[in-house]
Structures are given as C-alpha cells and as structure tokens.
C-alpha cells in the first residue's frame, strides 16, 4: 500500500479533498538557493563592471565626465559649443574671396604669346619714312602693317624699329615703344596697336555648365557669375553645385549659392583663370538616439545643426540625453589653434575635434541654429543614463532567469512525481494558513 504524502504540519494528504499546499523540498535545496543567489550577485557585478559589453549605438554620455580624463591620452579633442566658438568658425569659413586676396577691379588686358596684333603707324606729313612724297591724295598719312602674332620670344616686328617687346605689355605700352624706336627716323610718328585675336588672355569655364568653353577676358571686367553665365550657367541644382577657381597654381572652392548669398565670394576673374563647376551632394550622418539613423542629404547649400537634427527625426524621447549631442569633424590646424586646442600632440594639417552641444540648456537651441554643418559631418546623440541602467537590469534578470528556470522546473517535476505516485517520505510546504 502506498504511503501517504506528508505535509510540513504533520498531516497526511487527503486523497479526496486537496489543499492548496506545496510539497516540501529536500533538505539540500537550501544549497540550490545559495547557488542562485551567488549567480545573481555575480551577474550584477559583471553587468555593472562591464557596461561596455552591453549593446549600444556608440559612446555613452560618459563624455560628460571628460574632465576626469587626461586630455593628452585621447586621440581627439573635446570642444564645448559656445558663441565664441561659432564666431571663430564663421571667421574661418572657406570663401573664395578669402583664399584669393586680389580684390582689385578688372585687370588690364596684356599681350601674350599667340595673340594676333594689328599695328598702324602715322606720320605728320608725306615724304617721311613710311609715306612717300609723291603719294598723291591720301585719306591719311598712315600705313597699316600686316597682322602678326606675338612670337615665342614675346615680340612683334615693326619695320625700321626692329623687334618690339609685346608680351606682358598693354597696347598703350607697346605703342609707346614703337614711337620711341621710330622717332629719329619718321616724321613725328604715332602708332596705334590693336588686339585682333586674343589667345593669351582667356578664361576657361569647365565642368557641368551649359557650354564648357574658353573665351577672351573682357577689358570691362567680369566676375565669377558673369563668366559662368557666358558658359551657359550650371546644369544642376544650385545647392549641390560647387565652383572651384584655379589661379596661378592656387585653388579654392565654394558652393555656387554662396556666390549669390555672399558677394565677397563673387570676385573678379583674371586672364588665365580656370573655373570648374562640379556637383557634389553634401551629406551628413546621424547615429545614436536620434529619431532616425543613416546618411542624409543637405538639400540646401547651408544647413545648421538644428536643421540637421530635424532631418534625422529629432531626438528620441525614450532614449536620448539632450545634454549629450556630439558632432565629429576634422578642423584645420590653424582653426584648432584659435579654438585654444593644444595641437602639438597631433601630426598633420587636420585636428580631430568633437563639439559637444547641450540641448537641456535653452541657449543650446540658439547655438544650434547658428552652427553650420559641413559636408561629411557626423552627429551622435548619446543615450540617457536611465537607458543604460535599464539595460543592466534586463541583463541581470536574464542571467538569474537562466539559472532559476531549470531549477524551478526540476522542483516542479519532483513535486508532481511525489504527488502522483504517493511514495517515499516526501513532505509538503503549506503556503496557506490552516483552516480549523
């Protein structure tokens, strides 16, 4: 006959009327509980001491505690975004007018090798060097020489005057040189020099314009927009179009729209300038606790960080720490020095800088409206501290559940087996108060 199942109160189980009581576990079950407790404690320590092992989209808001770290040990520099910082960046923004300091008006057209020149010599009366005495009735006492090109030595030839230097001179200067060479032989000579075919003083407009071409420089003076319009204007939207100017071995580029919005960029072109118009869509990347993550186009030639955050869906209300918004950018060494950065530990012309923006401060939104984005900037928004704490608690619960679930399954199986077979000296823990 099967033995009755014993409960902790000493009574036997009633086979007809069951009670809401659980069987007692074996005496060694307290050891199992100690194992579970130690495992939970170990999981908590591991989670707390190894937060870097938790999943995340990037650096945490530990950046806020950068003052506790030796700056010399970091491969970058942290700069807090302030009004003074924005003023320095604005003063050092790349502009054509700043790259090329020649701010004079239109330049004079000077002859060069390959130019075709016309020379006319006048004398005061017939019987001189060029006008014979028996010339008869003439419309004027002058002679027009055949057109000639400036040779590779930079000279033109005038009879009885010999080679005359023309390269690098204006028409007035060449006329004076001819008169000086003929004054002792001709009768009060005068000369008129004109440019018939201008080859040396030309401007080239290339790239994505209506009609890439090379055309003579205008003596009246032309600015960049004038030269681009002569070539048919840009073919693509202005906000994705850039203009590069090459002059005397130097290059500088600016957005096409900047020529319209900032007159200082629309400088006068010079002979031998090369203008290259190209398309380069400007983009930035957003990571972290923003509304969306990915690469986003500017869609305009100028974009503030406030507008960039808006394009990325703003800050995620459930994840983001508004005080921990960071922008990654490489700045020129001279700009970094003006920002107060110690550049001696960095090599090369570009210094890696991380700008920090605090949007918990209402003034941060005014700073964000003024701070201009640049092509290929990276924005990272850190998670709030509560998000990291929630991750740790979830990790601890996962660890404890991993150990606890098999043990509870074993206990339940042991209990069901004892109740079903009614064998052994199984005892049961009464979880309810006795009913008398």
Which of these three, 141, 174, 197, is where a domain ends?
197
Within its chain, how far is the Cα of 435 from the centroid? 77
Residues 126 and 143 sit within 8 Å (Cβ to Cβ): no
Task: Kindly report, residue by residue over 177-208, the tens digit of the pLDDT.
Answer: 999 999 988 888 999 999 999 888 889 999 99
Exposed, middle or buried by CB within 10 Å (0-12, 13-18, 19+), for 19? Answer: middle
Query: What is the DSSP track for 174-196?
Result: HHHHHHHHHTTTSSS-EEEEEEE
The number of domains in the chain is 3
pTM of the model: 0.61
Lowest mean pLDDT among 59-73, 190-204, 334-348, 420-434: 420-434
β-pair partners for 118: 194
CATH of the domain at 127: 3.30.1950.10
Most confident of the ranges 62-71, 138-147, 263-272, 353-362:
353-362
Query: What average pLDDT does the segment 350-364 reach?
Result: 94
Which band of pLDDT confidence, cut at 50, 70 and 90, is reported for residue 262? confident
Whether the CB-CB separation of 147 and 116 falls below 8 Å is answered with yes
**287 and 312 inside one domain:** yes
Does any domain span residue 406? Answer: no
The mean-pLDDT minimum among 25-29, 88-92, 225-229 falls in: 25-29
CA 246-203-233 angle, 5° bins: 90
Helix (H) or strand (E) holding 203: strand 202-207
In this structure, the answer to whether residues 295 and 378 fall within a common structural domain is: yes
Give the Å distances, CA to CA, from 228 to 135, 248, 370: 52, 19, 30
Cα 4 versus chain centre, distance: 81
| Interatomic CA distance for residues 157 and 143, integer angstroms | 15
* pLDDT attached to residue 336: 94
* Other Cβ atoms closer than 10 A to 213: 15
> 32 or 343: whose pLDDT is higher?
343
Task: Give the pLDDT confidence of 117-171 residue by residue, as tens digits.
Answer: 999 999 887 777 887 766 555 666 888 999 999 999 999 999 999 999 999 999 9
Q: What share of the chain is helix, strand, coil (3-state, %, to 5)?
A: 30, 25, 40
Boundary (domain end) residue, out of 157, 179, 197: 197
Q: Which CATH number characterizes residue 209's domain?
A: 3.10.560.10
DSSP character for 64? G
Query: CA 336 to CA 352: how far, in whole Å?
Result: 9
Q: To 10 degrees, what angle do helices 29-49 and 385-421 make?
A: 160
For residue 433, the model assigns a pLDDT of: 45
Higher-confidence residue of 435 and 36: namely: 36
Burial class (CB in 10 A: 0-12, 13-18, 19+), 416: exposed
Last residue of a domain, one of 168, 197, 226: 197
The reply to whether 235 and 261 lie within a common domain is: yes
Indicate whether 70 and 161 sit together in one domain.
Answer: no
At 305 the pLDDT is: 95
Average pLDDT, the chain: 81
Whether the per-residue pLDDT at 70 is higher than 90: the answer is no
Rounded to whole angstroms, how far apart are CA atoms 95 and 85? 19
Lowest mean pLDDT of 11-20, 68-77, 154-163, 267-276, name the range: 11-20
Integer angstrom CA distances of residue 87 from 10, 149, 333, 342: 85, 53, 17, 19
pLDDT, tens digit, for every residue of 81-110?
999 999 999 988 877 666 666 667 777 889
In a domain, 317, yes or no: yes
Q: Are residues 130 and 178 in the same domain?
A: yes
| 46 within domain boundaries | no
| Same-domain pairing of 378 and 309 | yes
Look at residue 429 and tell me whether its pLDDT is greater than 50: no
Question: Do 260 and 342 share a domain, yes or no?
Answer: no
* Beta strand pairing call for 283-288 and 116-122: unpaired
What's the burial of 392, exposed, middle or buried (CB within 10 Å: 0-12/13-18/19+)? Answer: middle
Do residues 426 and 23 touch, judged by C-beta distance below 8 A?
A: yes
Check residue 7 and give its pLDDT: 46
* 434 pLDDT tier (thresholds 50, 70, 90): very low
Q: How many Cα atoms sit within 13 Å of 259 on the Cβ side?
A: 26
The answer on 270 and 217 residing in a single domain is yes
CA distance linking residue 7 with residue 314, whole number of Å: 62
Spatial CA neighbour of 135 closest among 125, 145, 122: 125
Among candidates 96, 19, 32, 11, which has minimal Cα distance to 269?
A: 96
Q: Which of 311, 305, 281, 277 is closest to 293 using CA atoms?
A: 311
Torsion over CA: 215, 217, 222, 224 (sign): positive
* Confidence bin at 17 (pLDDT 50/70/90): very low
Give me the domain span that covers residue 126. Answer: 116-197
Taking CB atoms within 8 Å and a gap of at least 24, the contacts of 42-51 are 42/399, 43/395, 43/396, 43/399, 43/400, 44/396, 46/399, 47/392, 47/395, 47/396, 47/399, 48/392, 51/388, 51/392
> Which tens digits make up the pLDDT trace of 307-324?
999 999 999 888 889 999
Q: Give CA–CA dist 268/100, Å, rounded.
A: 10
Among positive and negative, which fits the CA dihedral 173, 177, 183, 185? Answer: negative
Helices (H), 238-290: 256-261
> Do 374 and 291 belong to one domain?
yes
């Amino acid at each position: 006959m099967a033995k009755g199942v014993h409960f902790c109160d000493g009574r036997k189980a009633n086979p007809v009327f069951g009670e809401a009581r659980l069987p007692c576990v074996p005496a060694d079950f307290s050891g199992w509980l100690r194992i579970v407790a130690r495992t939970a404690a170990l999981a908590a320590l591991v989670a707390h001491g190894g937060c870097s092992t938790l999943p995340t989209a990037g650096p945490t808001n530990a950046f806020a505690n950068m003052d506790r770290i030796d700056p010399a040990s970091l491969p970058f520099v942290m700069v807090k975004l302030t009004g003074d910082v924005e003023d320095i960046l604005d003063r050092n923004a790349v502009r054509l007018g700043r790259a090329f300091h020649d701010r004079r008006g239109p330049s004079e057209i000077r002859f060069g090798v390959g130019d075709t020149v016309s020379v006319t010599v006048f004398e005061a009366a017939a019987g001189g060097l060029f006008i014979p005495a028996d010339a008869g009735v003439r419309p004027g006492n002058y002679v027009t020489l055949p057109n000639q090109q400036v040779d590779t030595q930079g000279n033109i030839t005038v009879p009885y005057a010999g080679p005359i230097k023309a390269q690098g001179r204006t028409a007035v200067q060449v006329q004076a040189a001819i008169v000086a060479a003929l004054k002792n032989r001709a009768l009060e000579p005068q000369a008129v020099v004109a440019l018939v075919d201008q080859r040396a003083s030309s401007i080239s407009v290339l790239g994505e314009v209506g009609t890439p071409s090379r055309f003579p420089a205008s003596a009246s003076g032309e600015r960049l927009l004038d030269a681009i319009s002569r070539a048919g204007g840009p073919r693509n939207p202005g906000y994705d179009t850039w203009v590069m100017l090459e002059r005397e071995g130097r290059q500088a580029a600016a957005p096409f729209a900047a020529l319209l919005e900032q007159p200082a960029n629309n400088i006068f072109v010079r002979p031998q300038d090369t203008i290259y118009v190209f398309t380069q869509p400007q983009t930035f990347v957003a990571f972290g606790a923003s509304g969306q993550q990915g690469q986003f186009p500017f869609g305009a030639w100028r974009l503030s960080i406030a507008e960039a955050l808006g394009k990325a869906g703003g800050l995620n209300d459930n994840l983001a720490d508004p005080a921990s918004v960071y922008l990654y950018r490489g700045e020129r060494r001279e700009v970094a020095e003006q920002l107060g950065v110690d550049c001696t530990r960095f090599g090369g012309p570009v210094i890696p800088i991380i700008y920090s923006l605090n949007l918990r401060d209402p003034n941060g939104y005014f700073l964000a409206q003024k701070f201009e984005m640049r092509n290929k900037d990276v924005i990272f928004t850190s998670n709030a501290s509560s998000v990291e704490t929630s991750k740790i608690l979830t990790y601890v619960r996962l660890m404890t559940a991993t150990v606890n679930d098999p043990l509870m399954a074993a206990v339940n199986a042991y209990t069901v087996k004892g109740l079903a077979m009614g064998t052994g000296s199984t005892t049961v823990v009464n979880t309810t108060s006795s009913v008398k």
